[in-house]
Structure 1
Amino acid sequence: MGRIVVMNHVTLDGVFQGPGRADEDTRGGFTQGGWGQRAATPDDAVGKAMGERMAAGGGLAGWLFGRRTYEDLLASWNAQGGPFKDALNDSHKYVASTTLDEPLPWPNSTLLRGDVVEALRALKARSGGVLGIMGSGVLIGSLMAADLIDEYLLMTHPLVLGTGRRLFAGGAHVSLRLIDSVTSATGVLIATYEPARDRT
């Protein structure tokens, strides 16, 4: 069985909107995009942590994206180039959307139709590795409500923005257990949590 792992950058007040670029996500008049660059991690602690989480779960089986994150990553990383572009192009991508049509524009992409939660429950059951999620707050909320997320790798930046879309919003509730943490040289707390499910 696969593992669904959320991998997101957040601020101390839980904002995950637009960490990469000023124009990444301006919904709701958000003007503080690019905040993740204020505490960059030159020691590559984030990349190391992501690699370790994927390896610990049997390797990357694919990425799960909502439409907005899928389109943004497609536009941004294919324009930038570099090793992350090749890794994303070569990996399988599963996209939750009610507005996109096949064929999807990015190689190795599958559109999830119908009941996304049930589609991902089935995908998780037949997968042998990590199904990673970046961005995709609406999708994360749906999977959290269905208790399908196995792990959260959160890179918490030492910033409070006061505005912006929050990762855990809309009355979300889940008890988490810390499994591992490290602080980068720039003060980013890289922590791995798992749901505190009853293990009896």
Structure 2
Amino acid sequence: MRKLKIIEHVSLDGVIQNSTDGDGFPYHDWTAPYRTPEGGKLVLAEHGGSFDLLLGRRTYDSWSAIWPNVPSSPMVDRLNAATKFVLTHRPESLEWGPVAGLGPDLVDSVQQLKAEDGPDLILSGSSTLTSTLLAHGLADEALLIVYPVLLGTGKRLFAEGTAAQAFQLADSRALPSGVVLNRYRSRGTVPLSRL
């Protein structure tokens, strides 16, 4: 049985957007000043030796324009080798492979993928998919790579209306660059305080 890991690069105020996407977001590649060889090794290790990707269509389109054209490195090679499971209404237009389009029911599709044998699934870059999968208890853990910046605008990790949930901090590592890697595991419902 596969695990589903959410891995996101996020600002202190919850922004995951990293490119302009034609919508006026002003901070293209804002994570770049904080990248270090040590951080790169940790992120690579968090992905694992092999993995498959779960992607929304916008993330897939963005990544497919970048990763096949980047010089070889351990992370680039693993991303390109991973099977990309993409939530899309246009599976015939998927070219960056190996790739498979998911059916219209995200929850059912992910439940089926998780029940299969295979490498872990990594979800990155989609607040819509993240919120839906968390609401249905399908994410096994979330690794938030938090950068010491406030951006004030941009696509947020958790979409408005994301179901309330409690998490347990499983691990936290601070890097000299100010980046902090926090691993969380879902604990279910939010405990309510009693008066």
Alignment partner, residue 93 of structure 1: 84
Return the match for 2:32 from 32, 37, 54.
37
Deviations, residues 100-130 of structure 1 (Å, cap 9, x unaligned): 2326201210000221210111110113431
Q: Which moved more, 1:82-91 or 1:185-194?
A: 82-91
Displacement of 1:81: 2.4
Aligned equivalents of 2:65 and 2:149: distance in 1? 27
Displacement of 1:197: 3.5
Return the match for 1:179 from 170, 175, 189.
170
SS of residue paired to 1:180 = strand
Aligned equivalents of 1:88 and 1:158: distance in 2? 26
Alignment partner, residue 190 of structure 1: 181
Superposition TM-score, scaled by structure 2 size: 0.87
Return the match for 2:128 from 133, 138, 141.
138
Displacement of 1:47: 3.4
Task: Read off the aligned partner of 2:121 and give its amino acid letter.
Answer: L
Displacement of 1:39: 1.7
Task: Read off the aligned partner of 1:14 and give its amino acid letter.
Answer: G
Identity %: 34
Asked if residue 161 in structure 1 is aligned to residue 143 in structure 2, the reply is: no
SS of residue paired to 2:152 = coil
Task: Read off the aligned partner of 2:24 and give its amino acid letter.
Answer: G
Aligned equivalents of 1:41 and 1:177: distance in 2? 27
Asked if residue 106 in structure 1 is aligned to residue 96 in structure 2, the reply is: yes
Asked if residue 115 in structure 1 is aligned to residue 110 in structure 2, the reply is: no
Superposed counterparts of 1:77-92, under 5 Å: 77-83=67-73, 84-92=75-83
> How large is the Cα RMSD of the aligned pairs?
1.9
Q: Is the 8 A contact 1:2 1:124 kept in 2?
A: yes
Query: Any stretches of 5+ residues in structure 2 without a counterpart?
Result: 190-195
How many residues align? The count is 187
Query: Any stretches of 5+ residues in structure 1 without a counterpart?
Result: 19-23
Deviations, residues 129-167 of structure 1 (Å, cap 9, x unaligned): 310011122111211111111100110000011111110
Q: Is the 8 A contact 2:51 2:78 kept in 1?
A: no
Asked if residue 47 in structure 1 is aligned to residue 41 in structure 2, the reply is: yes
